[in-house]
Amino acid sequence: MADVHNRTRYLAGCRCETCKLAQSTYTRARRQAKKSGVAQPRENVAPSPTTPTPAAPGPSAPTDEESVVAGVREEIAGFVGAEDHPGLIATALALARILDTPSAIAQHAAAAGRLMDLMITLGKSGKKKPTKLGELRRLEGGKSA
């Protein structure tokens, strides 16, 4: 019989890299399933990292129209001088991605608070005011003269 290293072998005491990886993959999958509220049958051996696992049904990711990332991008576009702070913009978008991730519920409260602080900081320079020509174009439906 071949010397097989997997999660079962890890439970028996083996601590080689293959067995540790199998155990961590199994633990990560269980934690992810628990966060998303999907009940999974218990397995003795986790699937190998090369075997694709089917996506667990659960809360779906928001569409582009209702995503926090899209809203943050739109709001940042209206701030004067926001492009001068690429690090703050990147951080705000990363926090928005956390808020768009249904399995990261535990981090949502902290991410939302920090995102609000960043948006206030970015908005201190003020909002861009539309020009008269831009307002006229908007009213005409985006047609240019």
Confidence (pLDDT) at 83: 82
| Residue 140 in this model has a pLDDT that exceeds 80 | yes
Two tokens, residue 46: 């986790």
Q: What is the mean pLDDT of residues 85-101?
A: 90
Dihedral sign, CA of 67, 70, 75, 76? positive
Residue with tokens 């943050």: 72
Q: How far is residue 42's CA from residue 38's CA, in Å, rounded to a whole number?
A: 12
Confidence (pLDDT) at 145: 46
For residue range 22-68, what is the model confidence (pLDDT) as tens digits?
A: 999 999 988 888 877 766 556 555 555 554 455 544 455 556 567 89
Looking at per-residue pLDDT, the higher value among 115 and 136 belongs to: 115
**pTM of the entire predicted model:** 0.48
